[in-house]
Amino acid sequence: MPFATVSQASQSAGSLELAQTSAANGHDEAVYSTFSKSSKRCISFAASSAAMFSGLSSFVYYPAITPLAESLHTTVALINLTITSYLIVSGFVPSIVGDLADRTGRRPLYILTFAIYFAANIGLALQDSYPALFVLRMLQSAGSSSLLARVLHHEIGG
């Protein structure tokens, strides 16, 4: 399959101008796009920003394991269980969200999963018990891993 660069299509006086690009095999192909160059950059920036949430939420947690165990009056092993639950949820939730996105569209799912992620982070900042930490970490994972999965699915070719 030949690869073509994405080119800008602009509207002028109601007609759509198409730019010609060279594909990898040397043939010219028309590439259609309704987005301006700045819109494409904005979309790429938003998708890249959304993709960083899952990894950031997972790794930023490690230095706080011992202080969390002390402040919640629990063991480090139980705090480590929240990491395990985070990883388990981040493994299976994207398949559920992916199926829903195919049925309902990506935009509502982006908004829903980002809202879940945001609410879980607010809850984590305000919680003061281990059960709340455990449940909110799973919700945080559900929101962030779904964002990453939708970004990757969209960018790779879904």
4, 21 in Cβ contact below 8 A?
Answer: yes
Please tell me the predicted confidence (pLDDT) of residue 151: 53
Integer Cα distance of 153 and 147 in angstroms = 10
Whose CA is closest to 106, among 53, 147, 68, 134?
Answer: 147
DSSP letter (8 states) at residue 36 = -
Please tell me the predicted confidence (pLDDT) of residue 147: 65
Successive 10-residue mean pLDDT values, the chain, 158 residues: 41 40 51 79 78 73 91 94 92 85 83 90 94 95 74 52
Q: Is the pTM of this model over 0.75?
A: no
Please tell me the predicted confidence (pLDDT) of residue 89: 92
Please tell me the predicted confidence (pLDDT) of residue 16: 42
Burial level of 92, CB count in 10 A (0-12/13-18/19+)?
exposed
